[in-house]
Amino acid sequence: MNWISEVVRPKIKTLFKRETPDNLWIKCPETGQVVFHKDVEANQWVIPGSNHHMRISATQRLQLMFDGATWLDVAVPEVPVDPLKFRDEKRYVDRLKDARAKTGQQDAFKVGFGRVDELPMTIAVQDFGFMGGSLGMAAGEAFIKGAETALDKKTPYVLFAGSGGARMQEGILSLMQMPRTTVAIRRLRDAKLPYIVVLTNPTTGGVTASYAMLGDVHLAEPGALIGFAGPRVIEQTIREKLPDGFQRSEYLKEHGMVDAVVHRHDLKATVARLSRLSVQPHL
């Protein structure tokens, strides 16, 4: 045994080792650029240089939108847990427990009421971090509760959509949320209250096929993937190469599916401006 190399040297290395937090740096998914975590946070979770918009939680989104980062949480009705007793690689109830522990939320939606540029507003946010922001009974109830809150408070209703689609573990009960949320949107229109949708990365599946594309105005963050099926599935189905940037927000803006692509720094002001235009009395 070499006492110097196997005992002394490791102890010296340990003595001078500097602990580095795991979250000190963030790597850009697009360019591989490594950026200081605090710089990205200060830039509203947009990578400086590449302009890549990172995914953020529902709470972070509400903090960015509401004045003073303060709002009232809207209580969401409870729904039956695992009504189909679904199990794949693990039980659905266990997946829910894991998602709740990871995000600190009960489900994929968070609804808040507060002021945006001094204008009263109701905002619902889908959190992709909770089982891919999937649409289930709880998410459907949360969306409808947000619409009812907007009707009760007579405020604009703003949705930040971000989802992989319907929640397979709830089967037909998940798909039933699509017509239910559509009825809630119809009630907003009958009351002449604006419904503004902000599409974030990604917004796909049954969410895109329902309430995410029924807004009075559709905004999108730069580079967001927006569509029903993913590009790989489409290419395999039609057996053709898709155009560059297909299903990205900029491509959809050029082809009339999205009204505007708005940088995260400008979203609050843009949503407030649109809301003020829509709630002003007609002359």
The tens digit of pLDDT for each residue in 257-266 reads: 999 999 999 9
Q: Looking at this protein, which amino acid is placed at residue 267?
A: L
For 6, counting Cβ atoms within 10 Å of its Cβ (0-12 exposed, 13-18 middle, 19+ buried), the class is: exposed
Query: 26 - beta bridge partners?
Result: 35
Mean pLDDT of the chain: 91
Distance CA 135, CA 181 (A): 11
CA-based torsion, 165, 167, 172, 173: positive or negative: negative
Tell me the residue length of the chain: 283
C-alpha 222/C-alpha 280 separation (Å) is 29
pLDDT of residue 283: 34
Instruction: Provide the pLDDT for residue 278.
Output: 75
pLDDT tens profile 5-45? 665 566 555 554 555 455 789 989 888 889 999 999 999 99
User: Which of 7-16, 198-207, 240-249 shows the lowest mean pLDDT across its residues?
Assistant: 7-16
Residue 1 has pLDDT above 70, yes or no: no
pLDDT at residue number 282: 41
Min mean pLDDT across 101-105, 148-152, 154-158, 234-238 is at 234-238
Mean pLDDT, rounded, for 147-154: 98
Confidence band for 232, pLDDT divided at 50, 70 and 90:
confident
Are 82 and 169 in contact, with CB atoms under 8 Å apart? yes
- pTM (predicted TM-score): 0.89
